[in-house]
Chains A and B, each alone.
Chain A
Amino acid sequence: MQLISIGLIMLSAAVWELNIIVVLKSYVCYSLYLILCGETACFLSCIMAYIWPILVIATLHLAQCNQEENKLEDIQPYIYQPSWMYTCVPDEGCERSDQPEPTGNTTNPRRSQTYESLDLCRTVCGRFGGFWPKPITAVLSTQTVKIHPNFLRFDLVDVPAEARQLMIQMTQLVGPNLMAECNGNVTDLVETPVMVYISVKNAATTLTWDTDEQYMLDLKVKDGEISTHIVAETVFGARHALETFTQLVASTRPEYSNSNACSLRIVSGAKIRDRPVYKHRGFLLDSSRHFIPLVDIKRTLDGMASTKLNVFHWHVTDSHSFPLESSRVPQFTRYGAYSAEEIYTTEEVRGLVQYAKVRGIRMVIEIDSPAHAANGWQWGKDYGFGDLAVCVNAKPWRQLCIQPPCGQLNPANSNMYRYLKELYQDIADFLGETPLLHVGGDEVFINCWNSSQEIVTYMKNQGYDRNVEGFMQLWSEFHYKALEAWDDVTKSSLPVMIWSSELTQAHRIQNYLDKNRYIIEVWEPLSSPLETMLLRMGYRIVSVPKDIWYLDHGFWGMTKYSNWRRMYSHVLPNHDGVLGGEVAMWSEYVDENALDTRVWPRLAAVAERLWANPSGGVYGAETRLNRHRARLIARGLRPDAIAPQWCDQHDNRCL
């Protein structure tokens, strides 16, 4: 199976390679075409075409200087020892020198394969260098060349016009990400042009489960120019290629250096063929138990983009609070937000959807229902619409819900469906084309509904028994009506996501939930047979094994913490019905203060599992994960350490 697919990739690679040559040969023609077509999007490329000869001359000159590049470092201020050197030892990794060596030691000419910077050593050492997640196939040069992000240029001639605006936004992230490797200040100015030619075939700008995310990346140094060719089916594949591109670069500054001098080097040759194993590679963030400020969500999205995760599952509401502003129903936040400042305004949400998209991430908004809904829904009576939710903030809570505050939507009140639909309308507006809704659907507490006379009467009128199955009928009726509302809003019948629950038990689900309409997000523990049974029945699932991929575990009750090794080692069932998996960050015990340290680098570990599904264990992954951890820190995140720094500096010595 795998062989065939690799074969297919190679075959298509060969075909595409031909295309590249054609592209190269007709470069001038394309430039002319550009000038004629006069699109602003092509402006950059046009300029490049004009200053081409100058750049070539400049880089030729620079190439000569390259041999003596250490000269400048002589005049650097005195640097306190130690400075370790790292040698790439094949099959072993990067090895720290035995003795601390002075930085910029000119008497000891730089041996090949010896680096001052561990990051740089990692970038060229080993088959998969500093990549995270690792690509399907990669061939890397062990040589590097110095670059400066200011001389980075993108050629988007081969990007369909409809997708070009999005592609431009995607390319704009590359420079800052490279700068970040030098803490925003690349002091070593080299003018080598770094050209990135991007070719995209498909004009699609919407990310769905059908989006083709594969890409090819070829990097060569030729005539003093670094040229990178990226070929992808969609802009989203091309974006992943850009992410991989940034992972070919590292700074030469030693870690823990106290000098400001910093230059960037890029691997001087690379050939990468890559595609994800799973289509749905997600992260769930709960912003109801605690409000998570927008800036922290954005930082999390940055981290997700760096690991090629593609779904941000936003568990934006719960019984605790309702921070999502609805332009149609302002009462939701007025009655549900923690404060007037702790609200995601409609503009902010739209901005966030776009922010995610530019990072290759699809936003899934979850309005948990019918359970896990309370604050935000308690205004019905005040406005003459009856109880939209029941048992809201009930005391004592233990009889009526799983955790305080209690609350469940009131399925006997048709006004509830009316406002749910208005809310769905808002969500559809937020998400744009092919919106993906998560309807929640977990942990319905029968006792709660059973405690409401209104609901009991309604059930009687509907002919439902007042027993478990009767309540299941009521529950499924809720989902039926909710889906109807969503379909009305979207004017189509898109699949929606739903949590596994009592309703999705193998003996019930087929009576209540259509397998073409519902993607089941299974959060059962590993020991549960539900996942296998659902797959057998033909349901599509997203897997979130709670005893492995729940990040809040280990901090409350009897739950157990999973470290990155455990999370990484978990392999999803090999089945077409498995769309992918998610890592969940429930926020009972996390707010913006603890967010990063809980999420990273563990989320990155799962990202590689979902992208590459590697057969090797944690053994070979740790050095690359450490490299990626450094990258996350450079990009402003605050990941946990996974081992003493000594282990990072001494590959394979801490087994």
Chain B
Amino acid sequence: MSRWGEALGRGASAQFARVGRMRRALVILAAVACTAAALLYWRQQTDEGMHRPLHSLYAGVEPQWSWICQQDRCERFLASETNVLQSLPTCNMLCSSTQLWPQPTGRVSLATAAVPVRANGFSLHVIASPSSLVTEHLHEAFALFKEDLTKLERSAGSDSRRGDIGYTRNVLVHIFVNGTGDPRLRLDTDESYKLSLKPAGHNLVVDITAHSFPGARHGFETLSQIIWLDPYAGSLLILEAATINDAPKFSYRGLLLDTARNYFPVNEIIRTIDAMASCKLNTFHWHVSDSQSFPLKLDSAPQLAQYGAYGPGAIYTVEDVKAIVRRAKLRGIRVLIEVDAPAHVGRAWTWGPSAGLGHLAHCVELEPWSTWCGEPPCGQLNPKNPHVYELLERIYAEIIQLTGVDDIFHLGGDEVSERCWSQHFNDTDPMDLWLEFTKKAMHSLERANGGRAPEMTLLWSSRLTRTPYLEKLDKKRYGIHIWGASQWQESRAVLDAGYRSIISHVDAWYLDCGFGSWRDSSDGHCGPYRSWQQVYEHRPWIEEGPSLTAGMPGVEPASPWRIEGGATCQWTEQLGPGGLDARVWPRTAAVAERLWSDSNERAEADVYLRLDTHRTRMVARGVRAAPLWPRWCSHNPHQCL
């Protein structure tokens, strides 16, 4: 923690080395003084007297409680019983642990002193940028960052709000991006960043160094996490100094939202993307269509939404998608739109005959549904109709053009009903049909993507990703999105076979589990509810990694697992817009830290505290995240464990 002070000392003495002895002595003395001063900034706050500077902000406020850091914990006292006033957020920020979420993976040192700032006191200086596009994105992302701060500033209760909080510091944010000139998040994007914050004269200076736009943006996010609202002062505070080196452990960190079972308005999606950004998730997997509805109104095939949407207002127009993609891009997030095929299609595909294209889909809404599919209504694309592939090409091309994501694509490809196809094509093995469909869809995708296959094309794990069909899928092209339970043999087999994989194990990261069945006839729904602790502690790459079987007799030496990352899945059979936030958050934030930091930590005291702080942060930004525990436990850190 003292490094910064020492470095300053060394630098200073080097500069004056040539001068006479007296001066040198003086300089050394000054350097020592400098170091001591710096150390003072850094030292743990144990002396109550040091709270005084903040205390002066509290003039005229009579809060009920005061928190004092004792033995690395914030203890609550009646304000009247202590001569030190400190709010809970300030105590948490200045006491032992970092309040960062996700926890950075590199070196972190934080000051334990704070100074007041204003949202409009922040300014951006792009010192180095590889392209004007990146510069432009930096400015817009910075504007969003300031918007978040402003929101936080305004959330101060009117009671504690005071007109004059006195002298505030300005914060200059210097950005250095040396790397790719493409602001998009790519599979190979280096998302690491370095942040250093230190006082300079009357101002504070923040240096953020990154190799890409998304990396620099993560720097903004971290910066926003060392700024908080002190409710008693009614003012934003910032740590006075900090250095943070940070990079993610996994490159794909996602959330899947299903907008087909129930429709979610655009603003809900934007808010979800903002919430994702707050914990440095980087992939919004948009399961946009399913057999129940097709809300995506594409210019290339408007009939799909016309026949498939729940109503004229339950659609996403091209403008809507652009707005979502734009927002996501500025938040360092890729939008991965999945139009599930060949199964999970419905009424949207029934206009073929009237348009002279023949049957695009079979078994649509066929009864009894339980014979033909996993949940009502049924429907499956017609693999022998060439128009299907032409349409898919058009759809894929428009999706790639709208999202700007061309290195990764999701074809869907789960839960094909063999019986449905057998009914129509009794001369062909449905599994062969499925394989053929997948290859043809892949060709459509290639053509849609200018003749190149994306670097990784995802398929849901299914019967097709099991032996003997798995071997027929090209490892260089396909990645497998594993949704099966972590204990299932086939979930492991895909990893052992060396496919690039995204993990969404149903037994850990399915957020829809635990709400019972929505139909009379079945209890086929997964359960129980996956608590945030379970979500957080799920580390299949450690728990069941290939090393466990290595050397066991009869087990072939497996190739190393290629896990690109993971995603929580929010299927929405039993979720509408009203409950979205509380269902998704804070559980998806827990996954975010697992995928970013992947520390050995289980859901322990420190994780509770930091997640609780992060949840408060999200609520201040308008996300209705569910609480972790009773409010008293937030007020009395460590006492509910």
Contact = CB atoms under 8 A, between A and B. Distances in A.
Interface stretch (B37-45, B269-277, B549-557, B625-633): B625-633
Nearest to B639: A404
Contact of B312 (A258, A340, A653, A655): A258
A339 B63 contact: yes
B578 A256 contact: no
Contacts of B262: 641, 644-645
Interface in B429-468: none
Given A337-B64, A404-B633, A638 B518 contact: no
Given A289-B630, A341-B159, A633-B578, A563 B306 contact: no
B312 A594 contact: no
Nearest to A639: B578
Interface in A231-264: 254-259
A415 to B, nearest CB: 20
B531 interface: yes
A214 B582 CA distance: 38
Interface in B573-607: 573-579, 581-583
Interface residues of B, number: 70
B579 A645 contact: no
A208 interface: no
A335 B78 contact: yes
B263 interface: yes
B307 A643 contact: no
Contacts of A640: 574-576, 578-579
Interface stretch (B204-212, B234-242, B509-517): B509-517
Given A643-B573, A654-B519, A649 B64 contact: no
Nearest to A638: B578
Given A555-B531, A641-B574, A83 B636 contact: no
A321 B579 CA distance: 27
A255 B305 CA distance: 16
A79 interface: yes
Contact of B635 (A255, A338, A587, A642): A338
A590 B624 CA distance: 11
Interface string A622-650: 00000000000100011111111111011
Given A642-B518, A646-B377, A654-B376, A290 B631 contact: yes
B574 A643 contact: yes
B504 interface: no
Per DSSP, chain B at the interface is loop
Contacts of A560: 528
A538 interface: no
Nearest to B80: A334
B529 interface: yes
Interface in A184-207: none
Interface string B308-326: 0111111100000000000
B544 interface: no
Contact of A565 (B291, B314, B520, B581): B520
Interface in A354-407: 375, 393, 395, 397, 403-405
Nearest to B232: A339
Chain A interface residue count: which class?
A: 35 or more
Contacts of B231: 339
A644 B311 contact: no
Contacts of B311: 82-84, 254-257
B165 interface: no
Given A563-B518, A566-B516, A646 B292 contact: yes
A556 interface: yes
B157 interface: yes
Given A80-B315, A255-B310, A641-B262, A653 B376 contact: yes
B497 interface: no
B530 to A, nearest CB: 10
B293 interface: yes
B538 interface: no
- Nearest 3 A/B pairs, CB to CB: A256-B311, A638-B578, A597-B579
Given A554-B528, A560-B528, A645-B262, 14 more contacts: A81-B312, A255-B314, A395-B639, A397-B639, A561-B515, A563-B574, A590-B626, A593-B581, A640-B578, A641-B572, A644-B572, A645-B261, A646-B291, A646-B293
18 contacts: A81-B306, A82-B306, A82-B307, A100-B306, A254-B312, A257-B313, A337-B64, A397-B639, A405-B636, A556-B531, A563-B515, A565-B517, A591-B631, A594-B582, A594-B624, A596-B579, A637-B578, A646-B293
Interface of B: 62-65, 78, 157, 159, 231, 260-263, 291-293, 297, 305-307, 309-315, 346, 365, 367, 369, 376-377, 514-521, 527-529, 531, 572-579, 581-583, 619, 624-633, 635-636, 639-640
